[in-house]
Amino acid sequence: MEKLQRSDLYSLEQYAEVRNEFRTKVMQHKKRRSIELGPNVRLLFEDRLIMQYQIQEMLRIERIFEPAGIQEELDAYNPLIPDGSNLKATMMIEFSDIEERKAALEKLLGIEKMTWLKIADFEKIFPIANEDMDRETEEKTSSVHFLRYELTSEMIAVLKSGSELSAGIDHPEYSYTVTVEEEVRKALIKDLD
């Protein structure tokens, strides 16, 4: 998938004009790229459109219009765009109650490394997690993790041929398995071109 360049972005003025429509489009797009793993974990699979939205919002919030500042945002977000042989996801551990979340994050150390994808009869694919920074201490994990799933050419071919995609977590304190909905599976296949 092609990385974003400055020429792909709206100016602050242009973005102000299209923001509501663009935001609606991206929110609908995200729904087709999200997998719920039980009641408290969600994977959002990133792509070029979502990263464009993230960059546009950062430029807007920070009022960044200088070329160097725009390039910094591009450099920060472009690594989250899939490269054609992988899927990249933001993993969110979500508990509405603060105390419940705090207790869960203490119990869920290492959960990001135990969150997998599985294509047909291939072995589970475990992610390369948090390449940008360590998001865990000895006491607790973070509520947000960045995951990269590397796929072989054989896995990609089988997935594109219509094989089932499943996802899950094999953590002793949180274990779930789901079959990925067809709409989401088809959206993720586009990341592998």
Q: Tokens in use for 124? A: 């589970």
Strand ranges inside the chain, DSSP E? 34-37, 41-45, 86-93, 115-119, 128-129, 144-150, 165-171, 174-179
Q: Tell me the pLDDT tens digit for each residue of 126-171.
A: 999 987 666 667 788 999 999 999 999 999 999 999 999 999 999 9
Bridge partner residues of 35 (DSSP): 43
d(CA 23, CA 163): 32
pLDDT of residue 134: 65
Stated as kind and residue range, the H or E segment containing 70 is: helix 67-77
What predicted TM-score, i.e. pTM, was given to this entire model?
Answer: 0.90
Q: How far apart are CA 75 and CA 79, in angstroms?
A: 7
pLDDT by residue (tens digit) across 94-126? 999 999 999 999 999 999 999 999 999 999 999
At residue 172, the pLDDT reads 96
**What is the CA 143 to chain-centroid distance, rounded?**
13
Model pLDDT for residues 41-71, shown as the tens digit of each residue: 999 999 999 999 999 999 999 999 999 999 9
Measure the CA angle with vertex 33, ends 29 and 37; round to 5°. Answer: 140
Closest listed residue to residue 92, CA positions, set 19, 34, 132, 155: 34
Q: What is the pLDDT of residue 154?
A: 97
Which domains, ranges and CATH numbers included, belong to the chain?
A: 1-31+48-81 (no CATH), 37-46+82-193 (2.60.40)
